[in-house]
Amino acid sequence: MLSFLKKLLGRNEKFFDLLDASAKQANESAQILMRLHASIGKLEFDSWLIALSESRRKDKRIAADMTRELCATFITPIEREDIEALASALYKIPKTAEKIGTRIAISPERFATEFVGKQLQMLVRATELVISITHQLRKISEMEKIQDAYQQLQTIEGEADKFMLGTLKELYQGDGNAKEIIILGDFYELLERATDFCRDAGKIVFQVALKYT
């Protein structure tokens, strides 16, 4: 009986470990993306692009491990649906970061702007908060810390959205051609989406905390 309980508790920790690992991978992807952007026109650009793809592959392996654990376990530390929802939101961050990196690689000079750099800085900050709030699942009774992190994520997402809308307004009212407007508009929205996924991950943790406190 004792060995069974130890095994069960170990599996519970495994879920938290995998979610933590995925959150850290999201942050790593954001940091690599920021370095990729900073290296436009430099020799190390291709190396950062490769690193970004490798970060995504690492997170795919974490997601696969999570799926195996869910299939092998009947009892989970929080509801199975919440684990799946959070794992999905976390996975979308490196996935979107890789898409952003691929777009930058197509035409680096076009995206070597201060606006993109600022958006990426906000994304890095958002992923740092995702690490913090995801780890709080282990101490789900500390509602104030979870709520504070979630509010900060909402603030960053709001600032990123406001910043992007202002830039889009300038783009649409400028003298750029239709093709340029479409390309840049799609790219800016992709940047915003990455921050949205960070907010979504925080929202899931916040909602889980409300259930259990």
CA atoms within 13 A on the CB side of 195: 27
pLDDT at res. 172: 74
| CA-based torsion, 71, 72, 74, 76: positive or negative | negative
Nearest to 120 by CA among 156, 150, 166: 156
pLDDT at res. 139: 84
Ramachandran quadrant class, 41 (left: phi over 0; alpha: psi -120 to 50; beta: rest): left
pLDDT at res. 176: 65
Nearest to 188 by CA among 90, 98, 120: 120
pLDDT at res. 165: 81
Which of the residues in the chain have pLDDT under 50? Answer: 1-10
| pLDDT tens digits, one per residue of 89-142 | 999 999 999 999 999 999 999 899 898 999 999 999 999 999 999 999 988 878
| Cα–Cα distance measured from residue 135 to residue 213, given in angstroms and rounded to the nearest whole number | 16
DSSP conformation class of 140: T
Distance of CA 144 to the CA centre of its chain: 22
Domains contained in the chain, CATH given? 9-212 (1.20.58.220)
